[in-house]
Amino acid sequence: MQISDEIFEDKVLKSERPVLVDFWASWCPPCKMMQPLVDRLHEELTGTAEIVSINIDQNPQTAAAYKITGVPTFVSFRNGQEVARKTGALTENQLRKMIDTASEQNQAA
């Protein structure tokens, strides 16, 4: 699911669930090829976690606020706080692990 600067706060920072944000760009082949996997996880985890994508060129404010220096960058959030980030394409296992870590953060809080 694509989000934008305007709804980033509502969708990510104010979310009651753990969130994984995929920062991407149209000129980045790994980003484009990761999209179907990211979308599949979004569908599968609906109700448990939010998996969202944001285009850094179309949404420069968020990209700058989170100091994105390479794409794709995956950042996980819990209760509005950044939990973890990884830059570069990730495997499905690695993506799931990031979501799980953010979920565990929830229980600790």
Q: Which residues are catalytic?
A: 28, 31
User: Is 80 near other proteins (CB under 8 A)?
Assistant: no
Between 23 and 77, name the residue whose CB sits nearer to other proteins: 23
Is 100 a binder of other proteins (CB under 8 A)? Answer: no
Residue 51: phi and psi, rounded to 5, are -120, 115
**Minimum separation from the CB atom of position 108 to other proteins (A):** 27
Task: Walk across the sheet containing 81-87 and list its strands.
Answer: 2-3, 50-55, 19-24, 73-78, 81-87
Q: Considering the complex, what minimum distance in angstroms separates the CB of residue 109 from other proteins? A: 30
Closest CB to other proteins among residues 48, 58: 58
Give which of 79, 88, 80, 78 is closest to 22, Cα–Cα.
88
Residue 84 binding other proteins, by CB under 8 A: no
Tell me if 12 sits within 8 A of 19, measured CB to CB: yes
Sole residue written with tokens 């976690």: 49
Considering only residues 7, 10, 46, 64, which one is a binding residue for other proteins as defined by CB under 8 A?
64
